[in-house]
Amino acid sequence: MKKIILLGASGSIGIQSIDVILQHSDKFEIVALSCGRNIIKLKEILTMISIEHVCVQLKEDYLYLKEEYPNIHFYYGDKGILEMLDMDAHIVINAIVGFAGLAPTLKIIQTKKVLALANKESLVVGGELVKKALQEHDGKMYPIDSEHSAIFQALQGNNKADILKLVVTASGGSFRNKTREELKGVSVEDALNHPNWSMGNRITIDSATMMNKGFEVIEAHYLFDIAFDNIEVLMNTESVIHSMIHYVDHSFMAQLGTADMRLPIQYALSYPNRLPLKMSDILDLAKIGTLHFKEVSYERYPLLKLAYEVGKRKGNSGAVINAADEVCVELFIRGEITFLDIEVIIQRCVEEMPYIEHPSYSDLYQSDIRTREYVYQLVNKGA
Ligand code: MG
Instruction: Give residue 194 CA to ligand 1 midpoint distance, Å.
Output: 13
Instruction: Give residue 380 CA to ligand 1 midpoint distance, Å.
Output: 32
**All domains in the chain, ordered by first residue:** 2-143 (3.40.50.720), 148-314 (no CATH)
Instruction: Give residue 191 CA to ligand 1 midpoint distance, Å.
Output: 17
pLDDT at 174: 87
Instruction: Give residue 3 CA to ligand 1 midpoint distance, Å.
Output: 26
pLDDT at 107: 98
Instruction: Give residue 229 CA to ligand 1 midpoint distance, Å.
Output: 20
Instruction: Give residue 244 CA to ligand 1 midpoint distance, Å.
Output: 13
Instruction: Give residue 148 CA to ligand 1 midpoint distance, Å.
Output: 7
Instruction: Give residue 218 CA to ligand 1 midpoint distance, Å.
Output: 12
pLDDT at 194: 81
Instruction: Give residue 145 CA to ligand 1 midpoint distance, Å.
Output: 5
pLDDT at 383: 55
Instruction: Give residue 24 CA to ligand 1 midpoint distance, Å.
Output: 24
Q: Is 91 exposed, middle or buried (0-12, 13-18, 19+ CB in 10 A)?
A: buried
Instruction: Give residue 280 CA to ligand 1 midpoint distance, Å.
Output: 21
Instruction: Give residue 111 CA to ligand 1 midpoint distance, Å.
Output: 27
Instruction: Give residue 61 CA to ligand 1 midpoint distance, Å.
Output: 32
Buried b (16+ CB within 10 A) or exposed e, 243-256: bbbbbeeeeebbbe
Instruction: Give the chain's residues under pLDDT 50.
Output: none
Instruction: Give residue 216 CA to ligand 1 midpoint distance, Å.
Output: 7
Single pTM value for the model: 0.96
Instruction: Give residue 33 CA to ligand 1 midpoint distance, Å.
Output: 23
Instruction: Give residue 223 CA to ligand 1 midpoint distance, Å.
Output: 13
Instruction: Give residue 297 CA to ligand 1 midpoint distance, Å.
Output: 19
pLDDT at 344: 97
pLDDT at 381: 80
Instruction: Give residue 23 CA to ligand 1 midpoint distance, Å.
Output: 23
Instruction: Give residue 147 CA to ligand 1 midpoint distance, Å.
Output: 5
Instruction: Give residue 307 CA to ligand 1 midpoint distance, Å.
Output: 15
Instruction: Give residue 66 CA to ligand 1 midpoint distance, Å.
Output: 36
Among 345, 333, 342, which Cα is nearest to 377's? 345
Instruction: Give residue 96 CA to ligand 1 midpoint distance, Å.
Output: 15
